[in-house]
Amino acid sequence: MSKRAITIDDLTKFKLVGDPQVHPTQPLVLFGLKTVTDKNKSISHLHLVNFDGEVRQLTQGEKGVGAGRWVPGSQSVSFTSGRGTAGDQIFVLPEVGEAKQLTSLEEGSIGGYDWSPDGKYIAFTHRKTHPDFTEKAVAERKEKGLGDAPLAFETTWYRLDGDGYFGEQRHHLYLLNVASGLVTLLCDKSAHGNYSVAWSPKSDKIAIVRSAEVDPFLEKPNDQIYLISLDGKEQMLQGLPKGNKGSLRWSPDGVWLAFAGNDSVEDPWGALNTRLYKVRTDGTGFVSLTPDTEYDLDVATLSDTKEAGYGAIMNWAPDSSGLFAQIAWHGETHLGFIDGSSGEIRLVTSGKCAYFIGNLDAAGHTVPAVYGDPVSIPELCLIDTATGKSKPLTSLNAAWASEVAIATSEAFYLDSPDGAKVHCWVMKPVGFDSSKKYPAILEVHGGPHTQYGWVFFHEFQVLAAQGYVVVYTNPRGSKGYGEAFCNAIKGDWGNKDWIDVQTATAWMKSQPFVDQSKLGIMGGSYGGYMTNWAIGHTHEFRAAITDRCVSNMVSMAGNSDFPVNKDGYFHGTAWGNLEDIKGLWAQSPISFFTNVKTPTLIIHSEGDLRCNIEQSEQVFIALKMQKVETRFVRYPKNTSHGMSRNGPADLRMHRLQEIVNWWKRQLS
């Protein structure tokens, strides 16, 4: 029986696992499972799987749940949800019985929570909804025939893509006494409401990372570490450098605090490697454990069947000898171990694949992970920390995989003219015939400081099923290839990265199975930037698709949720005289649009706060004014920058159909 081609609506059949948490002492893994319901809604619910692979669903209902965690000293489970409440609350599901609501917070959102080791307390962050925008207030205004309430603010941090507009409201850090239900404020001093939290092993103190600046967007990065007693008294550790810090972890022996970051104040966008540091809890002994390694602790591997997962993931070994951490290298993502004294890094796992790790069991023997490769929807596995061997736990997508023809990926490296080696993959159509010539599409990833890798990509598979050769690469600016490779484009987009894109294009044209008269280029976010750059600099591509793009760095500097600080990453500023603006304008693809002739499909979400939709509006008008064939597809305000990964299923499928239709129209 022949297998069928992968289709766009297969997206609704995927069962996507995430956030695996192994029980400290029992052979059980807690995880989230996201599926698409018959009402076209993606919902995540908690499930359990034992070490024999037996899966059991724990939560149900139309309101999904998240952040599943084991309650210390038990087999009960906690989670956050908005079920039956206005805003997020924390719940506990006992081993036997119904879930119990632990908090009764005002309407708002929970940013995260952490159990104290003794199970008596929960430290959590919560942001109250502005009184004018609560469900009750909105309903009352509507009933009275009033318009939507205005939003007023005086800070630069008033919105976040995927989170919306919140004005002056902030996440604060609170303490919940589980037995009494009493909630007390621990800290409200984070200008952005961002905290990284670590409990002391004795459960008597909390260490946090937060910015020491009143308005971090106006200053150089300056995260610091503070110790907070359970009555809210705060003390900053002295002598730590400025820079970015996060993923704070308190060692089991109580001596050390480890964190990921860097000590540069000139790297707001992560072009430099994220390194591992440690400091004693009294502020002495500060040291960078990985000052010279080429490994980066914060590498997001992009996929549309797995969240990118920004931020370092690491856990102390039980004997405090070092930390197990997630490390990406050349498109792979592995479990590694970092020696707590020497900083030596040892990769525990290996292979052309990606392991997205969870926590660590009490003995330090087992790490649960989401396992992925280019031909498999991600599933759960267990990693033996001693041998590096992994044991599959779930096969939730096996039935689907058995009925479809999945295209494989071949990896290779190209030498750019100036000596850089560019990692590339080619995915040939299912049923590939070497005697034929196929249209080919070059995909450029977003970020730019991320990577494509050895993971499953539904979008690529759909294009291969439609008969296209798909090429995807990690040009300079990508992470996972050393600091110099990534930092090569800092403040200088459209130079060395463009050289690498041209190198991949030349390879495509040289292949006997590629019809060089039918080449396309596409990408989202920074990939949209590079697509815009390409069509302004070459006519080699017969058509293009620019998705949630950047086109004008001058306007982008002020309309993104992460505004561009003067001379912080790019040179110049978006206000002032022509000389001030010149640096950003030189980096703007639209400044080269008098050269564009390439038919272009434009895709953008009206709710995108990272790359504002006006970036695409400028592209559309510039192309129309020059009578270049173009089509603009706008998605509604309830979608965001990450719509292609986490938007409503019907809109994600609509987007893919628009892409397929465009390539059929242009490359047939």
Q: Low-confidence residues of the chain, pLDDT below 70?
A: 1, 308
C-alpha–C-alpha distance, residues 291 and 209, integer Å: 21
C-alpha–C-alpha distance, residues 478 and 504, integer Å: 15
Q: Write out the H or E segment, with its range, that includes residue 644.
A: helix 643-646
Query: How much is the pLDDT for 1?
Result: 66
What CATH number belongs to 407-552+588-667? Answer: 3.40.50.1820
- Helices 496-510 and 526-537: angle between axes, nearest 10 degrees: 70
Question: What strands, in cross-sheet order, belong to the sheet with 244-250?
Answer: 244-250, 256-262, 275-280, 287-288
What separation in angstroms does the CA of 161 have from each of 164, 256, 407, 643? Answer: 6, 35, 33, 11
Query: How much is the pLDDT for 41?
Result: 87
Query: How much is the pLDDT for 662?
Result: 98
Query: How much is the pLDDT for 180?
Result: 97
Nearest to 589 by CA among 526, 519, 501, 506: 526
Check: CB of residue 322 under 8 Å from CB of residue 311.
no
Q: 200 CB contacts (<8 Å, ≥6 apart)?
A: 206, 207, 250, 254, 281
pLDDT in tens, 241-296: 999 999 999 999 999 999 999 998 887 788 999 999 999 999 999 999 999 999 99
Q: 469 CB contacts (<8 Å, ≥6 apart)?
A: 426, 427, 428, 429, 438, 439, 440, 441, 508, 511, 513, 514
Query: How much is the pLDDT for 268?
Result: 76
Looking up tokens 């480890």 gives 258
Q: Rounded to 5 degrees, what are φ and ψ at 363?
A: -85, -15
Angle value at C-alpha 549, between 294 and 631, nearest 5 degrees: 145
C-alpha–C-alpha distance, residues 501 and 289, integer Å: 35
What separation in angstroms does the CA of 18 have from each of 31, 34, 368? Answer: 6, 8, 10
